Structure 1
Amino acid sequence: MSSHILVVEDEAKLAQFIELELKYEGYEVSVANDGLSGLSQAREGHPDLILLDWMLPGISGIEICQRLRTTGNHTPVILLTAKDEVSDRVQGLDAGADDYLVKPFSIEELLARIRASLRRTQEQDSDVLQFDDLRLNRSSREVWRGSRSIELTAKEFELLEYLLAHPRQVLTRDQILERVWGYDFMGDSNIIEVYVRYLRLKLEAEGEPRIIQTVRGVGYVLRD
């Protein structure tokens, strides 16, 4: 599957040029020409990478980056800007950008930066599972809802990990019992309901929307 790149750039000709080059390279591309629509597409379109102009109508690229990071969105961001002072680069990186490219730039360098950023993300993806604003790190056994850290027991973690590994897929009670508790589990069959309730209490502790849904007579599914 090709990676989805969001281009947020108010210079129409430059945005079109980047879009055509990226499509030629096989990427799926979305374009936004102002800050507010860029922020909306970044949140709702689930791109794999964002090319983000610093100076935008509405809200700046720096503010977009800050808003994404404070809500737990860790999509890789490459800032595109004419600002080339060291202090500008520091400000951009401190705002949460992953990389920085000064205009005018060569398309070859931009493509190389994109490949490198996507490669780093793919290497991290084996350890990190994410759905909406919920993230789980398998290696560190940490869980976040947005910027909020959530403490889970070992079994709660295993159940959430299984759900996150199969987003939007309805998992039967038998599948969950076998995967999380073991095929030879002989305890109370209501154990799944108990642990789902525990997870919901922790995941929704600050009024967050429910994402573990019950499918009556079948099991559970992770979805909006």
Structure 2
Amino acid sequence: MAEIDFMGVLHKSTQRDYLARVNDPDYPKAKAAELAKQFDHDYWDGDRRICYGGYRYMEGRWEKVARALVDHYQLPENPKILDIGCGKGFLLYDFLKVIPGAEIYGIDLSPYAIANSKEEIRDRLQVGNATQLPWPDDHFDLVISINTLHCLHAQDLHPALCEMERVGKEHKYLCVESWRNQAEKANLLYWQVTCEAFNTPEAWHWWFKQTCYSGDHSFIYFE
């Protein structure tokens, strides 16, 4: 297990006004969170003050992440790749630009995301829950989960991590939100709308140990 940052380049490209978000007169944090936690239109394509404000495919944005993952992990010629919390499938679509022969799969709890996913790969995506993955043991050459598992409560986080470990052969990578000091904790609380697992890096490592998660990881901090 190693900490490897594949996501920092994307996270740091966004400018954030934490106080404006938490104090918005139309979508104060509690209201925004209630809408976002439905993981429906408001979360993906609603007002920016709720969440993404229009989650659209951007040429090359996710390809750099896919390429970094492929360059790091030694995958077979036609690897099986699973994205847990795949959203609209943009990262999986860009994996095919890097490895055209990859066998891609995605799962997400949002019917809206799957219905509005990248049309070219929609038949490779399905609605489902990270706590019960519909694949056999050691099925995938690479399993990834980006900005998803911190949205789970403790009772779901444990089985989700166990499931991620179960279906992956060797290479696994997850990225979750975290905090190292009180400033980052406050910023995370101000900015997030779906986070339930407010863990420090040390607490995340405890979770990894409890669930026997052996893959790699990285943390998103709100500095």
RCO (CA 8 Å, sep 6+): is it higher in 1 or 2? 2
Which is strand-richer, 1 or 2? 1
| TM > 0.5 fold call | no
TM-score, length-scaled by structure 2: 0.35
TM-score, length-scaled by structure 1: 0.35
Between Structure 1 and Structure 2, whose CA radius of gyration is higher? 1
